[in-house]
Amino acid sequence: MTGETHEEAGPAGLASALVAGGALSSDWLPSFRAVPRQLFVPDRIWPGIADGTRQNPVVYRSQDPDAWRRAVYSDIPLTTQWDDGQHHGDGLGTTPTSSNSMPTMVFSMLQDLDVRPGNRVLEVGAGTGWNAGLLAHRLGNPNVVTVEYDPDVARGARANLRLAGLAPTVVEGDGRHGWPDGAPYDRIIATCSLLEIPGAWLAQSAPGGIIVAPFGTEYGGEQIVRLTVNEDGTSASGRFTRSSAFMRLRQQRTDRPPFEDYLHGKPWPADAVGSTTTLAPPDTGGWFEQFVIGSAVPGAFWRAERYDDGAYTLWLYSRDTRSWASADHRRGRTEYEVYQSGPRNLWDEVEAAWRWWDDQGRPGLDRFGLTVAPVAPDAPAAPGTHTVWLDSPENPVPLRG
């Protein structure tokens, strides 16, 4: 952003960049112009780098309006809240929990949503309200509902929308339950990451409705999925469209027990069994590789312990604390030491998932999809069975463990 003039750091410059990149289509351009991003960005923000790898220092509009404007009209995410609002300082908190999303992602997901005149849309995760504002401008206020769990964030979104002259319905509540008072919806869009698609969203969809949501695995990795709901609202299926990295839906955050819980009072390596592998642990660590592994290895997650010499240990854990594994990576080696403990051989599961993907020719995101079914009608917040597949629903990713 350094070196841009005040005139360049504006809506026209951002629109040009988004159009050139293919994110902003001609049908969304009028809404982009009528619903300026700056009306939905608070005085204090933490501008992010587009790849999400680090965070810039805090920027205040009241203190540095030029820097604030450059950030607003750059194609980057803007963090607006840390640690569920418990963090009030200017430094970085532990976990970002609300934001104004990266414009490329906003408009790419709106393209995936494929709204038509008269469509009713449910959004889960109001954030600053910009996404709901864009939808309300295009479809009309009565056709847009946005649900936000955090009362302070919801109030801010509502105020921003009023400032923009818009009034979609803003609901404070648990997004997993949707909002049945406004159903059925032709389109549902989530602006938070999900481990499970709630059954209520399928039940509240019109036949043939579309759900666009960031879907991740507990192990790691996340992609945008575009699902089409069947006629009776009991299942949905569709392909992944692009990679993403959204903040997790609060009710689907997962605990990460400390390592001591896995040793059960015994000194390391406890009862672990040693072996070796020729698969280098870094080969399993890419964002998409994590997604493929997580689709095959349920109820597991990882941590990395890095050392000054560039070596590191990959630690694998089962959510139930009964199983763990470690794989040591040392530069220049072709064989790596592994320890595994518990009823699940977690490294073996991870390696089997990676080698399955490798055997398929390392297919990319465009060949994967997701099916959610069946959904119990008497438990609307409960998820159905989630099956990630390659090329077609008849070819599911093989589960390990």
Six-digit token string for 185: 């919806």
How many whole angstroms separate alpha carbon 22 and alpha carbon 278? 41
Six-digit token string for 22: 């293919």
What per-residue confidence (pLDDT) applies to 270?
Answer: 86
What per-residue confidence (pLDDT) applies to 130?
Answer: 98
pLDDT tens profile 26-66: 999 999 999 999 999 999 999 987 555 666 799 999 999 99
How many whole angstroms separate alpha carbon 305 and alpha carbon 300? 17
Q: Indicate the residue type of 272.
A: A
Q: What is the mean pLDDT of the chain?
A: 93
Cβ neighbours of residue 244 under 8 Å, at least 6 residues apart? 105, 193, 214, 222, 223, 224
Is residue 244 part of the annotated active site? The answer reads: no
What per-residue confidence (pLDDT) applies to 242?
Answer: 97
What per-residue confidence (pLDDT) applies to 7?
Answer: 44
pLDDT tens profile 90-140: 988 899 999 999 999 999 999 999 999 999 999 999 999 999 999 999 999
Among residues 74, 101, 237, 326, which one is catalytic?
Answer: 101
Peptide bond into 281 cis (omega under 30): no
Looking at residue 220, the DSSP 8-state letter turns out to be S
DSSP string across 179-205 = -GGG--EEEEEESSBBSS-BHHHHHTE
Six-digit token string for 400: 């390990």
Structural domains in the chain plus CATH codes: 11-103 (no CATH), 105-245 (3.40.50.150), 260-359 (3.30.160)
- Phi/psi of residue 96, nearest 5 degrees: -70, 135
H or E stretch at 236: strand 236-243
What per-residue confidence (pLDDT) applies to 133?
Answer: 98
Give percent of the chain with pLDDT exceeding 90: 83
pLDDT tens profile 236-250: 999 999 999 999 999
What per-residue confidence (pLDDT) applies to 265?
Answer: 83
pLDDT above 70: residue 383: no
How many whole angstroms separate alpha carbon 136 and alpha carbon 122? 11
What per-residue confidence (pLDDT) applies to 5?
Answer: 34
What per-residue confidence (pLDDT) applies to 3?
Answer: 37
Please name which of 193, 223, 213, 246 lies closest in space to residue 79, comparing C-alpha atoms: 246
How many whole angstroms separate alpha carbon 292 and alpha carbon 298? 11
What per-residue confidence (pLDDT) applies to 261?
Answer: 86
Mean pLDDT of the 171-177 span: 96
Task: Give the burial class of 341: count Cβ atoms within 10 A of its Cβ; 0-12 exposed, 13-18 middle, 19 or more buried.
Answer: buried
What per-residue confidence (pLDDT) applies to 152?
Answer: 97
H or E stretch at 11: helix 11-20
How many whole angstroms separate alpha carbon 281 and alpha carbon 283? 5
- Higher pLDDT residue, 289 or 309? 289
- Which of 58-62, 156-160, 226-230, 308-312 has the lowest average pLDDT? 308-312
How many whole angstroms separate alpha carbon 246 and alpha carbon 6? 30
Please name which of 13, 96, 113 lies closest in space to residue 54, comparing C-alpha atoms: 96
Q: Long-range contacts: 327-332, Cβ < 8 Å, 24+?
A: 327/277, 327/281, 328/281, 329/280, 329/281, 329/282
What per-residue confidence (pLDDT) applies to 53?
Answer: 62
What per-residue confidence (pLDDT) applies to 127?
Answer: 97
Mean pLDDT of the 57-84 span: 95
pLDDT above 70: residue 8: no
Mean pLDDT of the 181-200 span: 96
H or E stretch at 304: strand 300-306
The band of 268, judged by pLDDT with boundaries at 50, 70 and 90, is: confident
**For the chain, how long is the longest CA-to-CA vector?**
65
